[in-house]
Amino acid sequence: MKGDRYPPALTQAEGVPSMAGKGPHGQVVIRSSHEDLSDPTAHLLMPTVEQGPFLPFERFAQTLATRRTQLGLHPHRAEEVVTYVLDGYVHHEDGSGTHSVLAPGSVLVVTAHTEIRHDLTM
């Protein structure tokens, strides 16, 4: 995109319809890149407690990792988790061993009707 401060993604998934209209033509675009784990800086953003929730979200967190950090395999149940990467690269692995790399501007949506486990490395 013109004026985008991030390099273009190496792979890009087709957009899906969205009321948020964050991507071109009212679609959310999910991008990823296969960078290695040598870049230690990742910056994820969700609104702070002081800012309050961005409805319809129940809870938000911001994470800034200045060195390679692995969160470890952890569960989610009866919730939908959305991760948006501002800077750096986040490696995601789900409980079945599927691995993906999230680049700046990437969105990861984890839907956990029943308990699922996943791991993030920033």
Which residues on neighbouring strands pair with residue 118, listed in sequence order?
A: 74, 94
For the entire predicted model, the pTM comes to: 0.51
Domain span holding position 88: 32-121
Whether the per-residue pLDDT at 11 is higher than 60: the answer is: no
Tokens 């988790």 identify what position? 81
pLDDT of residue 76: 86
38 assigned to some structural domain:
yes
pLDDT of residue 47: 55
**Spatial contact of 44 and 83, defined as CB atoms under 8 Å apart:** yes
pLDDT of residue 101: 92
pLDDT of residue 20: 35
3 assigned to some structural domain:
no
104 assigned to some structural domain:
yes
- The dihedral region occupied by 105, where left means phi > 0, alpha psi between -120 and 50, and beta the remainder, is left
How many domains does one find in the chain?
A: 1
Residues 6+ apart with CB under 8 A from 64: 42, 43, 44
39 assigned to some structural domain:
yes
- Which amino acid appears at position 5 of this protein? R
Specify the CATH number for the domain of residue 56. Answer: 2.60.120
25 assigned to some structural domain:
no
71 assigned to some structural domain:
yes
